[in-house]
Structure 1
Amino acid sequence: MSEASHKQALYELVCRYAQAVDKRDWTALARLFAPDAVLKGPGFSFDGVDAIVAGMNGLGRYSVTQHHVHNHLAEVEDLEASAETYCIANHIYEAEGVTRKLDWGIRYRDRFACIDGLWRITCRELLLDWSQDQPLPGANQ
């Protein structure tokens, strides 16, 4: 497999992460991680696939999420890789009868391993660069 093919596979992996999270497809999400993977960010750290899936269930407080994957720069060396991926994550929720939208500007610092011919996330660190929380115009009409 060429370096370009590996990089495309890694990009698809991070897009599949966004899709699995937004669909609340925890089975699909679990398949993206190595068994002993770590997912961490401000105020949380989940060690192992079961803990990652359990922790991501916390997204249930939002009626909808959309993770928009942007810049993705990966470095591949043999069967390991690292990347930084930009993402805007939209979270829709209700508070005091008002529909609100919480937006996060995220940078993920990722590490990957190719296991049995498939790339898996071994460590994903969420870095929150900015956030904004405001009423969602037109949502309560």
Structure 2
Amino acid sequence: MPRLPPVDRLDLDDLVHRYAVLVDQRAFTAVGELFTPDAELVLPDPPTSLRPTVEVRGRDAVIGALGRLTGFAATFHAVVGRVADADPGDPDRATGRVACEAHHVSVDEDGRARDLTWYLHYDDAYARIDDRWLIARRALSVDVIATGPVRKVRADG
């Protein structure tokens, strides 16, 4: 695959890290702005399916789907790897894969906290619109699910 120019690689790097930070801040409207207006987000349905099977389209649908994360006391998305390739036929298109460790902390009625960790990857398609890279399609696949205890959760998220 053709390599992207360095400035595009930096812009895409910022895009995927910004997504992770904004999701953890629960700034879902801002996350929606990282997607094209007609974007597709394809999510798994664990534990039934760890592959992307549930599709939503459009920014409002993306915002709504991500809003389900408010059921957790805290989340933490760590981008651990990213590659992106230029589209050989269109300089305003690219594809990429992002590896991520996503922690989802819940607290039960007795105050015990648990961490549901997804080791996952996103298969992305990007589009440059008005000199800004956006996510046109993101398909989330879960590779491993792990759970464990949490010692303490900060109350203010």
Q: Which runs of 5+ in 1 are unaligned?
A: none
Q: Which runs of 5+ in 2 are unaligned?
A: 46-53
TM-score, normalisation: structure 1? 0.93
Deviation at 1:96, TM superposition (A): 4.6
Query: 2:66 is matched with which residue?
Result: 56
Cα deviations by residue, 1:8-52 (Å, 9 ceiling, x for unpaired):
100110001101100011221111000000111212321110001
TM-score, normalisation: structure 2? 0.83
Query: Equivalent pairs: percent with the same residue?
Result: 33
Contact persistence 1:75–1:81 (CA under 8 A): yes
- Letter of the aligned partner of 2:77 in structure 1? H
Pick the aligned partner of 2:13 from 11, 14, 22.
11
Cα distance in 2, alignment partners of residues 52 and 108 from structure 1 = 15
Contact persistence 1:7–1:76 (CA under 8 A): no
Q: After the TM superposition, which parts of structure 1 deviate over 3 Å for at least 4 consecutive aligned residues?
A: none
CA-based RMSD of the aligned residues comes to 1.4
The within-5 A match list for 1:31-46 is 31-43=33-45, 44-46=54-56
Pick the aligned partner of 2:104 from 71, 77, 91.
91
Between the two proteins, the alignment pairs up a number of residues equal to 138
Cα deviations by residue, 1:58-86 (Å, 9 ceiling, x for unpaired):
00110110100011000023110000010
